[in-house]
Structure 1
Amino acid sequence: MKPEKPLTRREIVGYGLGDMGFNFYWTNISTFLLIFYTDTFGITAAAAATMLFVVKIFNAFTDPMIGAFADRTQTRWGKFRPYLLFMPLPLAVIGVAAYSTPDFGPTGKLAWAYVTYLLLMTVYTSVNLPYSALSGVITGDARERNAINASRFVCGFAGGTLVTFASPRLVAWLGGNDHALGWTLTMAFWGLAAAVIFAITFRSTTERVRPPQAQPSSVRQDLADLRSNRPWVLLFFLALIIMGSITLRMTSAAYYFKYVVNRPELLGSFVPAYLLAAAAGTACTPLLTRFIDKRRLMIGLMLISTVLSTAFLFVPADDIVLMYALQIALGLALGPKSPLSFAMLADSADFNEWRHGRRATGMTFAASSFAQKLGTAVAVAVIGALFSALGYVPNAAQSADSQAGIVWLMSVIPAAFTLIAAVLMVFYTLDNPTMARIQADLAARKSSV
């Protein structure tokens, strides 16, 4: 399981850069897509939220298929790296289409949104899933996995910060008064930039951990193994819940500053404040895991996040300093959860191989991606249902009920999600001593072949 030589800094940084490229898409989608659909594209909040929910649910079911296909890919570059080379340009083209605004009328525009968003998320997954699975086969060493996942999310948060700051400015610069054109050209820019980064990640990485040679190739068996893998099942629900919490706050932030604080320009610094703090928290993950077991650390982080999110309910609309202080504190608390959860997923793939003699790294990460998309879909559905119930009207002053609903989406509702996540982690069993024993057993098996 352990590579002959430690990972080089080039490999750690090269792998991490890939997530910066993915955030050129993901941050635009999670932060700006809903408000693009309602305030620029021209469909109602209910129709947009329903569309996002339906597509996320459908797309979530394609993830295991993509993961199974990646597990069975055999090339001279490995199983997962080729997707970083051949899929980014199609992804860029579809990203531009999704942020285009054709003059098709209400029904035609809604159909266009359904088709282009479904294609965007499917092709995005076909690159992102193999990239995530790659972290499980670059190295089998637990500390090195923490390092590459920390690098990944530091770069990811940096990319998210850049997008949140730059996208509104690019829209204004490239499109002038035509925001629809501005968004189309902005996504063309981000798509090309991401393609360059993915090529760098491809050249920087090597797949070292190989599945057992006699491993069966049944997709049904892979799924059965996952269902009986209790640590993975807990991580599945953890991913769903945490992504739901993050999506609630990220998507609601644009509405919060536009309609509650009445200072929409602050979004360009508010979200980056969180992302920069999260990057700092992520960078501390390898150090934290030297002293605190991953399971205990995750529980503590979720409880801290619950308290901080709840506190946001009591922030006055004019207390900008307190808003930013809580946002930065949340970033520091939630920053380590991403490298922790992805390192845990790699551990669950090791556990699966140790228990069953079979390894399905792509399927392991694909099913987690399924959970993340399901969590995003649930969050968007909650937002759409709440907006519809409270009478949200785009580009107009909101009622007191609508404003209160937006505040709850920024505070109490995501706090409930993270509290549930903390409870789930109490039952997670792959602590450090257990993983050391599992990896020693796997190494002994491989050396005896």
Structure 2
Amino acid sequence: MSTTYTKREKFRYLLGLSGQNIIYGTVTSVPAYYLQFTILIPAVWVGLILSVARIFDAVKDPFIGAMISRGKHKLKDYLIAVPIPTAILTILCFSNGIYSAENSMPKNILIVLSAFVFYIIWEVVFTIGDIPITGYPSVLTRDEGDRTKLLSLRPIGGMASGISTLAVQPIAFALSAVFGGSAADERNAFLITVAAFSIIGGVLFQFTAIGSVERVSAERSENSGQLRYFITNPLLRKISISGFLGSLKAMTGVILTPLVTYYFASKNPQMSLIYTALFGVGSIVGLVISAAAVPSLSKKYGTKRLFAAVNLINIFPNLLLFALYVKYPQNMTDIPQTVAMFVLTLIIGSCVSISSTVQTLIISQAVDLEEKISGNRPDALFFSAQTFIVKIGTGLSSLAASIGYAAVKFSSSETAVLNDFIANGGIPRLDGRYSNLMTLLFMLYTLPVALSSLLSAIPFIRGERD
């Protein structure tokens, strides 16, 4: 048996990673908009649903990681079993009714509860596949160079996530217009669009581990105290603290959809696609840079210094973007401002993408360090730290956004009024009644990200070379 992965294993892994990220991008980018602005669940309830689900999901990740590490099954067993159930549950997350004052109270309660329950179940099942696929390169080869190369190609999956993130909402808007444009039409359009992306993602996800061989044995210890590694392993401890401090960097993804929908596009599907692509392309460009440059940059400067540097750089474009809005609150769609915002979001997306890739490399180094310290390789447990960081960030960002919406008194009834205003030809950014909402969207999109980038860098600012 060869000591490292074959080209076919590498291709199947990247194919499966792309499918998994298509599903992930669909579910993480759309629900905040879908729940509040399509099926009209009040903002407070949406914030509770998403934040509680995400925080619960993040907290349970280390326990699922420990369970996988202690279990008898290989990582590939989970990767073969999970993809199709994940795709089915993704579709069910968008099968809700519409919340309305005309409904009976039990019906509205059922709509809220079904949204919460399906989301929680999806999170659990997705995690059972997410932790193994994140750590899979570590068991495909013991060669550190080959492992770094494969981990550095993870941005390919991120590109698939970016494509689904950019495409789902505009496609749903276009279908809704074809169907008639009512609230029910928009709900059905989202269901059809999500179903299509889920099927494609589920099929590709299924390829991840087919025919592959695990060449490195992960830890199968019966020791129930594996969570001690989060304290005893210095690298894992640092990256976990950094991730928690940088939680609100997820605000970029949470706010992009409502920002584009209501400020830039006024729910026009063609303009939504254009602006979402324009401001989301930075992440894709960053992923390309990550795949191409991170291996050499991390070798030259060290992963810890590189991680701190890109986070510190990310502070400035976020502050400049908010300052640009403050100067031109109603004119960000003018060509000079749009070009400036494109450049700034390009830098922001690149920094975030590079940071995420380097974070993966640091966790892989933490696994190697633990093997030297204790002789154990708890791959699944350690990589659950990264899924924990992502989910706690999205949960806290969703909660912060819902608090912001409540602060400007933007509830389900106001959402319906705004949607009617747009349907009658109104442009929210030009109407003083919605100036507080527009300012809130730009503020949430930039300022928490700048602060979180600074906090995220602190544990590694004085980091030593690898």
Q: Structure 1-normalised TM-score? A: 0.87
Partner residue of 1:206? 213
User: In 2, are the aligned partners of 1:15 and 1:152 still within 8 Å (CA)?
Assistant: no
- 1:41 counterpart residue number: 39
Q: What is the deviation of 1:163?
A: 4.1
Could you tell me which amino acid in structure 2 is paired with residue 294 of structure 1? Answer: T
The alpha carbon displacement at 1:427 in A equals 5.2
Distance in 2, matches of 1:244 and 1:140, equals 35
- For residues 454 and 70 of structure 2, what CA distance do their matches in structure 1 show? 38
Alignment equivalent of 1:145, drawn from 122, 144, 147: 147
Query: Which residue is equivalent to 1:282?
Result: 290
Q: Is the 8 A contact 1:240 1:374 kept in 2?
A: yes
Compute the displacement of 1:37 (Å). Answer: 0.4
C-alpha contact (below 8 Å) 2:65/2:380 kept by paired residues: yes
1:401 aligns with 2:428: no
Aligned to 1:436: none
Equivalent of 1:304, from 308, 313, 321?
Answer: 313
Asked if structure 2 preserves the Cα contact closer than 8 Å seen for 1:60 and 1:370, the reply is yes
| From 223, 227, 232, the counterpart of 1:218 | 223
| 1:326 counterpart residue number | 344
Return 349-358 or 161-170, whichever deviates more. 161-170
1:101 is matched with 96
Partner-residue secondary structure (3-state), 1:137:
helix
Among 444, 449, 452, the alignment partner of 1:414 is 449
8 A contact 1:226–1:233 mirrored in 2: yes
**Whole-angstrom CA distance in 1 between matches of 2:96 and 2:11:** 37
Q: What does the per-residue CA deviation read over 1:101-124, in whole Å, with 9 as the maximum and x for residues that have no partner?
A: 236732110011110110111111
Q: State which of 263, 288, 312 in structure 2 corresponds to 1:260.
A: 263
Give the alignment partner of residue 254 of structure 2, picking from 246, 251, 255.
251
Separation in structure 2 between the aligned mates of residue 250 and residue 139 of structure 1, nearest angstrom: 33
1:29 & 1:240 partners in 2: Cα distance? 22
SS in 2 for 1:207: coil
Q: 1:375 to 1:105 in 2, by over 3 A?
A: same
Fraction of identical pairs, as percent = 20
CA distance in 2 between partners of 1:145 and 1:271 (Å) = 32
2:56 maps to what in 1?
58
CA contact (8 A) 2:54 2:392 kept: yes
Residue 270 of structure 1 aligns with an amino acid whose one-letter code is L
- Among candidates 117, 120, 137, match of residue 118 of structure 1: 120
Structure 1, 298-307 or 188-197: larger mean CA deviation: 188-197
The equivalent of 1:435 in structure 2 is none
Number of the residue aligned with 2:201 = 194
Q: 1:228 maps to which residue?
A: 232
- Spell out, residue by residue over 1:362-412, the C-alpha distance to the aligned partner (whole angstroms, 9 max, x if none): 111123322321221111111111111122232524533322221111112
Aligned pair count reads 422
1:439 maps to: none
Q: What is aligned with 1:28?
A: 26
> Which moved further from structure 2: 339-348 or 98-107?
98-107
- Using a 3 Å threshold, how does the CA distance of structure 1 residues 218 and 20 change in structure 2: closer, same or farther? same
- 8 Å CA contact retained: 1:12, 1:147: no
Pair 162,366 (structure 1): closer, same or farther in 2 beyond 3 Å: closer
Q: Per-residue CA shift, 1:74-96, capped at 9, x if unaligned?
A: 34xxx111112111111111111
Counterpart residue type for residue 39 of structure 1: F
Q: Deviations over 1:14-62 (max 9, x none)?
A: 3233332222222223322111001112201111011111111222232
Q: Does 1:424 align with 2:440?
A: no
Which ranges in structure 1 are unaligned for 5 or more consecutive residues? 433-449
AA in 2 matched with 1:89? I
- Aligned residue identity for 1:358: N
Q: Is contact 2:260-2:276 (8 Å) kept?
A: no
- Aligned-partner Cα distance in 2 for 1:427–1:365: 24
Aligned to 2:65: 67
SS at match of 2:451: helix
Aligned partner of 2:158 in structure 1 is: 156
**Any residues of structure 2 matched to 1:75-94 within 5 Å, and which?**
75=73, 79-94=74-89
Does residue 17 of structure 1 match 2:22? no
| CA distance in 1 between partners of 2:264 and 2:194 (Å) | 28
Q: Distance in 2 between matches of 1:391 and 1:57?
A: 25
SS at match of 2:415: coil
Q: Taking structure 1 as reference, are residues 125 and 257 closer, same or farther at Cα in structure 2, changes over 3 Å only? A: same
Match in the other structure for 1:239: 243
Verify the 8 A CA contact 1:154 1:282 in the aligned structure 2. Answer: no
- Alignment deviations for residues 304-338 of structure 1 (CA, whole Å, 9 cap, x no partner): 11111111112232321111111112222222222
Q: Distance in 1 between matches of 2:85 and 2:92?
A: 11
Aligned letter for 2:118? Answer: T
1:181 equivalent in alignment to 2:166 = no
When the two structures are superposed, what TM-score results if normalisation uses the length of structure 2?
A: 0.84
The residue correspondences of 1:285-364 to structure 2 (distance < 5 A) are 285-315=294-324, 316=328, 317-318=332-333, 319-364=337-382
C-alpha root-mean-square deviation of aligned residues, in Å?
2.3
